[in-house]
Copies of this chain bind each other. A is one copy, B any other.
Amino acid sequence: MTERRGSGPSSAVIVAVGSELLTPHKTDTNSLFITDRLNGVGIDIVQKLVAGDEPRGLASALRYAMTAADVVIVTGGLGPTADDVTRDVVADLLGVPLDESADIVTRIRARFEARGLEMPEINRRQAAIPRGAEVLPNPAGTAPGLWLTAGGCRLVLLPGPPRELRPMFDRLVADRLAAAAGGRRVQRRTIRTTGRTESHIDELARPIYGPLAARQPSVSTTILASLGQIDLHLSTVGADPAEGGRVLDAAVEELAGVLGSCVVSTDGRTLPEVVGELLRRREARVAVAESCTGGLIASRLTDVPGSSAYVHAGWVLYSNQAKVALGVAPGLIEAHGAVSEAVAEAMAEAARVAADVDFGLAVTGIAGPGGATPEKPVGTVCLALAARGAPPRVRRVQLPGDRERVKFQASQAALDLLRRALLRAPSTGS
Protein backbone atom coordinates (compact mmCIF):
# COMPACT_ATOMS: atom_id res chain seq x y z
CA MET A 1 0.00 0.00 0.00
CA THR A 2 2.92 2.34 0.51
CA GLU A 3 4.94 1.77 -2.64
CA ARG A 4 6.03 5.38 -2.83
CA ARG A 5 7.28 5.70 0.75
CA GLY A 6 10.77 6.68 -0.48
CA SER A 7 9.43 9.94 -1.89
CA GLY A 8 7.42 11.04 1.18
CA PRO A 9 3.99 10.03 2.42
CA SER A 10 1.65 8.74 -0.27
CA SER A 11 -1.06 7.00 1.75
CA ALA A 12 -3.23 7.92 4.71
CA VAL A 13 -5.83 6.37 6.96
CA ILE A 14 -8.47 8.55 8.61
CA VAL A 15 -9.76 7.53 12.05
CA ALA A 16 -12.90 9.30 13.31
CA VAL A 17 -13.39 8.97 17.07
CA GLY A 18 -16.74 9.27 18.85
CA SER A 19 -19.38 6.82 20.04
CA GLU A 20 -22.08 8.98 18.44
CA LEU A 21 -20.57 8.03 15.04
CA LEU A 22 -21.47 4.39 15.79
CA THR A 23 -25.20 5.10 16.22
CA PRO A 24 -27.83 4.90 13.42
CA HIS A 25 -28.16 8.70 13.51
CA LYS A 26 -24.82 10.20 12.67
CA THR A 27 -22.03 9.59 10.21
CA ASP A 28 -18.49 10.88 9.84
CA THR A 29 -18.27 13.61 7.20
CA ASN A 30 -14.96 15.23 8.19
CA SER A 31 -13.23 12.50 6.20
CA LEU A 32 -14.66 13.81 2.92
CA PHE A 33 -13.06 17.21 3.51
CA ILE A 34 -9.79 15.64 4.63
CA THR A 35 -9.75 13.31 1.63
CA ASP A 36 -10.21 16.24 -0.73
CA ARG A 37 -7.30 18.12 0.81
CA LEU A 38 -4.94 15.12 1.05
CA ASN A 39 -5.73 14.03 -2.52
CA GLY A 40 -4.81 17.57 -3.51
CA VAL A 41 -1.20 16.92 -2.48
CA GLY A 42 -1.09 13.43 -3.95
CA ILE A 43 -1.84 11.44 -0.78
CA ASP A 44 -4.41 8.67 -1.27
CA ILE A 45 -6.80 7.55 1.44
CA VAL A 46 -6.38 3.79 1.66
CA GLN A 47 -8.81 3.10 4.52
CA LYS A 48 -11.16 4.86 6.93
CA LEU A 49 -12.12 3.79 10.43
CA VAL A 50 -14.67 4.89 12.98
CA ALA A 51 -13.98 4.03 16.62
CA GLY A 52 -15.94 4.75 19.80
CA ASP A 53 -14.84 6.46 23.00
CA GLU A 54 -13.92 3.13 24.63
CA PRO A 55 -10.11 3.17 25.21
CA ARG A 56 -9.30 -0.48 24.43
CA GLY A 57 -11.14 -0.44 21.09
CA LEU A 58 -9.66 2.93 20.12
CA ALA A 59 -6.15 1.69 20.96
CA SER A 60 -6.53 -1.36 18.71
CA ALA A 61 -7.97 0.79 15.90
CA LEU A 62 -5.03 3.20 16.07
CA ARG A 63 -2.50 0.39 16.25
CA TYR A 64 -4.04 -1.14 13.13
CA ALA A 65 -4.25 2.20 11.30
CA MET A 66 -0.53 2.83 11.86
CA THR A 67 0.31 -0.42 10.06
CA ALA A 68 -1.84 0.52 7.06
CA ALA A 69 -0.46 3.89 5.91
CA ASP A 70 2.24 6.56 6.17
CA VAL A 71 -0.07 9.15 7.70
CA VAL A 72 -2.87 8.59 10.23
CA ILE A 73 -5.31 11.46 10.71
CA VAL A 74 -7.38 11.11 13.90
CA THR A 75 -10.39 13.39 14.39
CA GLY A 76 -12.33 13.84 17.64
CA GLY A 77 -11.97 12.83 21.25
CA LEU A 78 -9.93 15.91 22.23
CA GLY A 79 -12.65 17.61 24.30
CA PRO A 80 -12.43 18.24 28.05
CA THR A 81 -14.72 15.49 29.38
CA ALA A 82 -13.93 12.00 30.64
CA ASP A 83 -15.32 10.63 27.34
CA ASP A 84 -12.53 12.34 25.42
CA VAL A 85 -9.78 9.75 25.53
CA THR A 86 -7.75 10.23 22.31
CA ARG A 87 -4.83 11.95 24.10
CA ASP A 88 -4.62 9.27 26.81
CA VAL A 89 -4.90 6.36 24.40
CA VAL A 90 -2.20 7.75 22.09
CA ALA A 91 0.22 8.41 24.98
CA ASP A 92 -0.35 4.88 26.24
CA LEU A 93 0.09 3.41 22.75
CA LEU A 94 3.39 5.22 22.21
CA GLY A 95 4.56 4.51 25.78
CA VAL A 96 5.09 8.16 26.69
CA PRO A 97 3.74 10.22 29.65
CA LEU A 98 1.25 13.09 29.33
CA ASP A 99 2.75 16.47 30.32
CA GLU A 100 0.60 19.51 31.09
CA SER A 101 1.53 22.46 28.90
CA ALA A 102 1.46 25.73 30.86
CA ASP A 103 1.23 27.63 27.56
CA ILE A 104 -1.92 25.80 26.53
CA VAL A 105 -3.52 26.25 29.96
CA THR A 106 -2.87 29.99 29.64
CA ARG A 107 -4.40 30.05 26.15
CA ILE A 108 -7.52 28.13 27.20
CA ARG A 109 -7.95 30.32 30.29
CA ALA A 110 -7.72 33.43 28.08
CA ARG A 111 -10.46 32.10 25.76
CA PHE A 112 -12.80 31.72 28.75
CA GLU A 113 -11.85 35.08 30.23
CA ALA A 114 -12.55 36.83 26.92
CA ARG A 115 -16.18 35.71 27.42
CA GLY A 116 -16.15 36.80 31.06
CA LEU A 117 -15.95 33.20 32.30
CA GLU A 118 -13.60 31.30 34.56
CA MET A 119 -11.93 28.23 33.04
CA PRO A 120 -13.52 25.06 34.46
CA GLU A 121 -10.87 22.77 36.03
CA ILE A 122 -11.94 20.01 33.64
CA ASN A 123 -10.48 21.94 30.67
CA ARG A 124 -6.95 21.30 31.99
CA ARG A 125 -7.30 17.89 30.33
CA GLN A 126 -7.00 19.67 26.97
CA ALA A 127 -3.52 20.92 27.91
CA ALA A 128 -2.19 17.36 28.46
CA ILE A 129 0.33 16.58 25.72
CA PRO A 130 1.91 13.18 24.98
CA ARG A 131 5.66 13.81 25.46
CA GLY A 132 7.35 14.52 22.12
CA ALA A 133 4.20 15.79 20.38
CA GLU A 134 4.20 19.11 18.55
CA VAL A 135 1.23 21.35 19.24
CA LEU A 136 -0.97 22.55 16.32
CA PRO A 137 -2.76 25.75 17.40
CA ASN A 138 -6.57 25.84 17.19
CA PRO A 139 -7.72 29.44 16.65
CA ALA A 140 -11.41 28.48 16.82
CA GLY A 141 -11.56 26.35 19.98
CA THR A 142 -9.92 25.14 23.17
CA ALA A 143 -8.54 21.78 21.95
CA PRO A 144 -5.16 22.10 20.23
CA GLY A 145 -4.16 19.56 17.58
CA LEU A 146 -1.13 17.31 18.02
CA TRP A 147 1.49 15.99 15.57
CA LEU A 148 3.47 12.89 16.51
CA THR A 149 5.84 10.53 14.73
CA ALA A 150 6.12 6.85 15.60
CA GLY A 151 7.89 4.12 13.66
CA GLY A 152 7.94 6.13 10.43
CA CYS A 153 4.22 6.92 10.68
CA ARG A 154 2.96 10.47 11.06
CA LEU A 155 0.08 10.59 13.54
CA VAL A 156 -2.02 13.78 13.49
CA LEU A 157 -4.71 14.41 16.13
CA LEU A 158 -7.34 17.05 15.36
CA PRO A 159 -10.56 18.22 17.06
CA GLY A 160 -13.86 16.92 15.61
CA PRO A 161 -15.98 20.08 15.11
CA PRO A 162 -15.68 20.99 11.39
CA ARG A 163 -15.31 24.73 12.02
CA GLU A 164 -12.25 23.99 14.18
CA LEU A 165 -10.86 21.15 12.11
CA ARG A 166 -11.09 22.72 8.65
CA PRO A 167 -8.90 25.83 9.09
CA MET A 168 -6.41 23.79 11.16
CA PHE A 169 -6.22 21.15 8.45
CA ASP A 170 -5.75 23.66 5.65
CA ARG A 171 -2.85 25.24 7.48
CA LEU A 172 -1.38 21.80 8.27
CA VAL A 173 -1.50 20.75 4.62
CA ALA A 174 0.00 24.05 3.48
CA ASP A 175 2.76 24.02 6.13
CA ARG A 176 3.77 20.39 6.33
CA LEU A 177 2.04 17.70 4.35
CA ALA A 178 2.47 19.19 0.87
CA ALA A 179 6.21 19.57 1.38
CA ALA A 180 6.52 16.10 2.92
CA ALA A 181 4.56 14.63 0.00
CA GLY A 182 7.34 15.77 -2.31
CA GLY A 183 5.47 18.36 -4.32
CA ARG A 184 3.06 15.95 -6.04
CA ARG A 185 -0.19 17.70 -6.78
CA VAL A 186 -3.54 16.31 -7.83
CA GLN A 187 -5.40 18.38 -10.40
CA ARG A 188 -9.13 17.85 -10.84
CA ARG A 189 -11.94 18.75 -13.19
CA THR A 190 -15.65 17.92 -12.99
CA ILE A 191 -17.99 17.67 -15.97
CA ARG A 192 -21.54 17.97 -14.67
CA THR A 193 -24.39 16.70 -16.84
CA THR A 194 -28.13 16.35 -16.59
CA GLY A 195 -30.84 14.74 -18.70
CA ARG A 196 -29.03 11.49 -19.55
CA THR A 197 -28.58 8.15 -17.78
CA GLU A 198 -25.29 7.01 -16.29
CA SER A 199 -24.90 4.24 -18.86
CA HIS A 200 -25.56 6.64 -21.72
CA ILE A 201 -22.91 9.07 -20.46
CA ASP A 202 -20.49 6.17 -19.98
CA GLU A 203 -21.16 4.89 -23.50
CA LEU A 204 -20.43 8.33 -25.00
CA ALA A 205 -17.43 9.13 -22.82
CA ARG A 206 -15.60 5.81 -22.52
CA PRO A 207 -14.01 5.89 -26.02
CA ILE A 208 -12.31 9.10 -24.91
CA TYR A 209 -11.48 8.55 -21.25
CA GLY A 210 -10.34 4.95 -21.79
CA PRO A 211 -7.27 5.97 -23.86
CA LEU A 212 -6.64 8.98 -21.56
CA ALA A 213 -5.89 6.62 -18.66
CA ALA A 214 -3.04 5.06 -20.66
CA ARG A 215 -1.33 8.40 -21.45
CA GLN A 216 1.47 10.02 -19.41
CA PRO A 217 0.46 11.76 -17.19
CA SER A 218 -2.49 9.45 -16.85
CA VAL A 219 -6.01 10.90 -16.44
CA SER A 220 -8.26 8.91 -14.11
CA THR A 221 -12.01 9.16 -14.50
CA THR A 222 -14.85 8.39 -12.10
CA ILE A 223 -18.55 8.59 -12.96
CA LEU A 224 -20.75 9.60 -10.03
CA ALA A 225 -24.52 9.45 -10.40
CA SER A 226 -26.78 11.42 -8.08
CA LEU A 227 -30.45 12.30 -8.41
CA GLY A 228 -31.03 13.94 -11.81
CA GLN A 229 -27.32 14.50 -12.32
CA ILE A 230 -24.31 12.53 -13.61
CA ASP A 231 -20.82 13.90 -12.90
CA LEU A 232 -17.58 12.87 -14.58
CA HIS A 233 -14.62 13.47 -12.25
CA LEU A 234 -11.22 13.67 -13.97
CA SER A 235 -7.92 13.86 -12.13
CA THR A 236 -4.22 13.62 -12.76
CA VAL A 237 -1.29 13.37 -10.33
CA GLY A 238 2.15 14.78 -11.03
CA ALA A 239 4.95 17.07 -9.99
CA ASP A 240 4.17 19.60 -12.75
CA PRO A 241 0.78 21.23 -12.11
CA ALA A 242 0.93 23.20 -15.36
CA GLU A 243 1.32 20.05 -17.43
CA GLY A 244 -1.47 18.31 -15.45
CA GLY A 245 -3.74 21.31 -16.00
CA ARG A 246 -3.11 21.31 -19.76
CA VAL A 247 -3.81 17.59 -20.06
CA LEU A 248 -7.04 17.93 -18.09
CA ASP A 249 -8.25 20.97 -20.00
CA ALA A 250 -7.76 19.10 -23.27
CA ALA A 251 -9.61 16.07 -21.87
CA VAL A 252 -12.51 18.22 -20.66
CA GLU A 253 -12.79 19.93 -24.05
CA GLU A 254 -12.84 16.62 -25.89
CA LEU A 255 -15.39 15.02 -23.52
CA ALA A 256 -17.64 18.08 -23.44
CA GLY A 257 -17.66 18.06 -27.24
CA VAL A 258 -18.95 14.50 -27.32
CA LEU A 259 -21.47 14.95 -24.48
CA GLY A 260 -22.98 18.05 -26.09
CA SER A 261 -25.79 20.08 -24.58
CA CYS A 262 -26.29 17.81 -21.55
CA VAL A 263 -23.13 19.34 -20.06
CA VAL A 264 -24.24 21.78 -17.35
CA SER A 265 -20.80 22.96 -16.23
CA THR A 266 -17.12 22.03 -16.27
CA ASP A 267 -16.16 24.10 -13.23
CA GLY A 268 -18.27 22.64 -10.44
CA ARG A 269 -21.21 25.06 -10.76
CA THR A 270 -24.64 23.66 -9.97
CA LEU A 271 -27.60 23.77 -12.36
CA PRO A 272 -29.32 26.67 -10.47
CA GLU A 273 -26.03 28.61 -10.54
CA VAL A 274 -25.61 28.05 -14.28
CA VAL A 275 -29.22 29.03 -15.00
CA GLY A 276 -28.78 32.11 -12.81
CA GLU A 277 -25.68 33.21 -14.66
CA LEU A 278 -27.32 32.74 -18.06
CA LEU A 279 -30.32 34.82 -16.93
CA ARG A 280 -28.07 37.50 -15.51
CA ARG A 281 -26.00 37.67 -18.69
CA ARG A 282 -29.18 38.24 -20.75
CA GLU A 283 -30.61 40.60 -18.11
CA ALA A 284 -33.66 38.36 -18.13
CA ARG A 285 -35.99 37.52 -15.25
CA VAL A 286 -38.01 34.42 -14.51
CA ALA A 287 -41.23 33.63 -12.66
CA VAL A 288 -42.20 30.07 -11.72
CA ALA A 289 -45.57 28.37 -11.32
CA GLU A 290 -45.27 25.08 -9.48
CA SER A 291 -47.79 22.41 -8.71
CA CYS A 292 -46.14 19.06 -7.80
CA THR A 293 -42.74 20.59 -7.03
CA GLY A 294 -44.48 22.76 -4.40
CA GLY A 295 -41.95 25.62 -4.33
CA LEU A 296 -38.79 23.55 -4.76
CA ILE A 297 -37.78 25.16 -8.07
CA ALA A 298 -38.09 28.66 -6.61
CA SER A 299 -36.24 27.55 -3.49
CA ARG A 300 -33.36 26.07 -5.49
CA LEU A 301 -33.12 29.15 -7.72
CA THR A 302 -33.00 31.37 -4.62
CA ASP A 303 -30.31 29.22 -2.94
CA VAL A 304 -27.89 31.12 -5.20
CA PRO A 305 -26.55 34.38 -3.71
CA GLY A 306 -27.68 37.38 -5.76
CA SER A 307 -30.67 35.54 -7.26
CA SER A 308 -32.95 38.48 -6.49
CA ALA A 309 -31.50 39.99 -9.70
CA TYR A 310 -33.42 37.49 -11.84
CA VAL A 311 -36.01 35.75 -9.63
CA HIS A 312 -39.00 38.02 -9.50
CA ALA A 313 -41.85 35.96 -8.15
CA GLY A 314 -43.18 32.46 -7.87
CA TRP A 315 -46.53 30.77 -7.42
CA VAL A 316 -47.24 27.48 -5.74
CA LEU A 317 -50.47 26.45 -7.45
CA TYR A 318 -51.36 23.34 -5.51
CA SER A 319 -55.13 23.43 -6.01
CA ASN A 320 -57.00 23.79 -9.32
CA GLN A 321 -58.63 26.88 -7.83
CA ALA A 322 -55.17 28.45 -7.37
CA LYS A 323 -54.27 27.60 -10.98
CA VAL A 324 -57.47 29.25 -12.22
CA ALA A 325 -56.90 32.31 -10.01
CA LEU A 326 -53.56 32.92 -11.77
CA GLY A 327 -55.20 32.67 -15.19
CA VAL A 328 -55.41 29.03 -16.28
CA ALA A 329 -58.75 28.52 -18.10
CA PRO A 330 -61.01 26.13 -16.11
CA GLY A 331 -62.02 24.47 -19.39
CA LEU A 332 -58.41 23.53 -20.06
CA ILE A 333 -58.19 21.66 -16.74
CA GLU A 334 -61.53 19.96 -17.43
CA ALA A 335 -60.50 18.92 -20.93
CA HIS A 336 -56.95 17.73 -20.28
CA GLY A 337 -56.67 17.26 -16.51
CA ALA A 338 -54.46 19.31 -14.15
CA VAL A 339 -51.47 17.15 -15.10
CA SER A 340 -51.19 17.82 -18.81
CA GLU A 341 -48.95 19.59 -21.31
CA ALA A 342 -51.76 22.08 -22.02
CA VAL A 343 -52.15 23.10 -18.37
CA ALA A 344 -48.37 23.30 -17.84
CA GLU A 345 -48.13 25.64 -20.83
CA ALA A 346 -51.00 27.80 -19.55
CA MET A 347 -49.42 27.97 -16.06
CA ALA A 348 -46.08 29.06 -17.52
CA GLU A 349 -47.63 31.79 -19.64
CA ALA A 350 -49.87 32.95 -16.77
CA ALA A 351 -46.86 33.30 -14.46
CA ARG A 352 -44.85 35.11 -17.11
CA VAL A 353 -47.63 37.58 -17.82
CA ALA A 354 -48.58 38.13 -14.16
CA ALA A 355 -44.98 38.87 -13.21
CA ASP A 356 -44.33 40.74 -16.46
CA VAL A 357 -40.99 39.00 -17.00
CA ASP A 358 -39.14 37.28 -19.86
CA PHE A 359 -39.63 33.66 -18.85
CA GLY A 360 -42.36 31.68 -17.12
CA LEU A 361 -41.45 28.17 -15.96
CA ALA A 362 -44.13 25.71 -14.87
CA VAL A 363 -44.45 22.16 -13.57
CA THR A 364 -47.50 20.04 -12.93
CA GLY A 365 -47.32 16.36 -12.13
CA ILE A 366 -48.09 13.43 -9.87
CA ALA A 367 -45.49 13.18 -7.10
CA GLY A 368 -47.39 10.37 -5.39
CA PRO A 369 -48.15 8.26 -3.52
CA GLY A 370 -51.78 9.32 -4.24
CA GLY A 371 -53.35 10.87 -7.33
CA ALA A 372 -52.24 8.34 -9.95
CA THR A 373 -54.45 6.99 -12.74
CA PRO A 374 -53.70 4.19 -15.24
CA GLU A 375 -52.93 6.82 -17.91
CA LYS A 376 -50.97 9.04 -15.55
CA PRO A 377 -48.97 6.92 -13.08
CA VAL A 378 -46.94 8.36 -10.18
CA GLY A 379 -43.98 10.22 -11.66
CA THR A 380 -45.87 11.66 -14.65
CA VAL A 381 -44.70 15.27 -14.90
CA CYS A 382 -45.46 17.96 -17.49
CA LEU A 383 -43.06 20.90 -17.83
CA ALA A 384 -43.43 24.11 -19.77
CA LEU A 385 -41.43 27.23 -20.46
CA ALA A 386 -43.12 30.38 -21.78
CA ALA A 387 -40.83 33.00 -23.30
CA ARG A 388 -41.56 36.56 -24.37
CA GLY A 389 -41.70 36.59 -28.16
CA ALA A 390 -40.80 32.94 -28.66
CA PRO A 391 -42.79 29.71 -28.93
CA PRO A 392 -43.30 27.79 -25.69
CA ARG A 393 -41.27 24.66 -24.91
CA VAL A 394 -43.29 21.80 -23.42
CA ARG A 395 -42.14 18.36 -22.21
CA ARG A 396 -43.71 15.37 -20.55
CA VAL A 397 -41.46 13.04 -18.53
CA GLN A 398 -41.92 9.88 -16.49
CA LEU A 399 -39.78 9.99 -13.33
CA PRO A 400 -38.95 7.06 -11.02
CA GLY A 401 -38.88 6.98 -7.23
CA ASP A 402 -40.85 8.25 -4.26
CA ARG A 403 -42.46 11.64 -3.67
CA GLU A 404 -39.30 13.55 -2.75
CA ARG A 405 -37.30 11.97 -5.59
CA VAL A 406 -39.99 12.83 -8.13
CA LYS A 407 -40.09 16.42 -6.82
CA PHE A 408 -36.34 16.86 -7.10
CA GLN A 409 -36.02 15.30 -10.54
CA ALA A 410 -38.96 17.41 -11.79
CA SER A 411 -37.23 20.56 -10.51
CA GLN A 412 -34.04 19.44 -12.24
CA ALA A 413 -35.86 18.82 -15.56
CA ALA A 414 -37.57 22.23 -15.33
CA LEU A 415 -34.35 24.10 -14.62
CA ASP A 416 -32.73 22.24 -17.52
CA LEU A 417 -35.56 23.26 -19.83
CA LEU A 418 -34.83 26.89 -18.95
CA ARG A 419 -31.05 26.36 -19.34
CA ARG A 420 -31.51 24.91 -22.82
CA ALA A 421 -33.78 27.77 -23.87
CA LEU A 422 -31.21 30.30 -22.64
CA LEU A 423 -28.53 28.49 -24.65
CA ARG A 424 -30.93 28.12 -27.61
CA ALA A 425 -30.24 24.37 -27.44
CA PRO A 426 -32.87 21.70 -28.21
CA SER A 427 -35.19 20.85 -25.31
CA THR A 428 -34.38 17.17 -25.11
CA GLY A 429 -31.07 15.69 -24.05
CA SER A 430 -29.48 15.54 -27.50
Contacts and interface: CB of A to CB of B under 8 A. Distances in A.
Nearest to A368: B305
A12 to B, nearest CB: 10
Contacts of A370: 305-306
Interface in A315-339: 315-319, 321-322, 325
A239 interface: no
Contact of A305 (B23, B46, B288, B369): B369
Given A24-B36, A325-B354, 16 more contacts: A22-B47, A23-B233, A24-B35, A27-B27, A48-B50, A49-B49, A61-B68, A288-B316, A293-B299, A294-B302, A294-B314, A295-B302, A298-B316, A305-B403, A307-B318, A313-B319
Contacts of A303: 294, 403-404, 407
Given A25-B32, A35-B24, A312-B319, A51 B56 contact: no
Contacts of A98: none
A69 to B, nearest CB: 9
Identical copies in the complex? 2
Contact of A299 (B21, B54, B295, B306): B295
A64 B404 CA distance: 40
A280 to B, nearest CB: 14
Contacts of A404: 303
A106 interface: no
A315 B54 CA distance: 52
Contacts of A7: none
B36 A22 contact: no
Interface residues of A, number: 77
Nearest to A304: B403
B318 A316 contact: no
B316 A222 contact: no
Contact of A294 (B1, B57, B298, B403): B298
B24 A46 contact: no
A105 interface: no
Contacts of A308: 318-319, 371
Contacts of A224: 20, 25-26
Contact of A314 (B54, B60, B307, B318): B318
Contact of A316 (B23, B36, B46, B314): B314
A316 B311 contact: yes
A299 to B, nearest CB: 4
14 contacts: A1-B57, A22-B35, A23-B233, A24-B35, A25-B32, A25-B222, A27-B27, A61-B68, A295-B299, A303-B403, A308-B318, A308-B319, A313-B317, A316-B316
